[in-house]
Amino acid sequence: MLTIDEIEQNFALIDDWEERYRYVIELGRELDTLPETERTETNRVKGCASQVWLETAAEREVGGVILRFRGDSDAHIVKGLIAIILALYSGKTAERILQLDAGEALARLGLNEHLTPQRSNGVRAMVERIRRDAVRQFATVPS
């Protein structure tokens, strides 16, 4: 999976927004499909017009609890947006996740002004879900 920095670099090389959308769709195609067993109501992200599922796994490591996310959607462009969100958040500590600003990252990609209101709401719902999972994990880490 690409990092958010690599995605930003690739976006910078593409001038045309139609091509950028195709790139976002390609990012989604590169995501592993979430198994049917993980497409549960618990993993479903509420607030998305499309079907979106996010699975969260927490691993204790020396630096704290690392959260890893997997996601899937029934819509190609949304699956690409999931790939971008996962590049930003997955593999980070709960503390780091709470410090990251998805709006800023999406603005650097220019996505804020190119997403429909429905898709923007869906991205916001995904980010809120990830942040809630991080808060839950952060709260359970002994000081």
Q: How far apart are alpha carbons 53 and 82 in whole angstroms?
A: 9
Q: Is 34 left (phi over 0), alpha (psi -120 to 50) or beta?
A: beta
Host H or E run for residue 93: strand 92-93
Q: How far apart are alpha carbons 18 and 35 in whole angstroms?
A: 30
Catalytic center residues: 48
Task: Output the CA angle 47-50-56, nearest 5 degrees.
Answer: 65
Nearest residue to 98 (alpha-carbon basis) of 67, 54, 120: 67
Nearest residue to 96 (alpha-carbon basis) of 86, 88, 85: 88
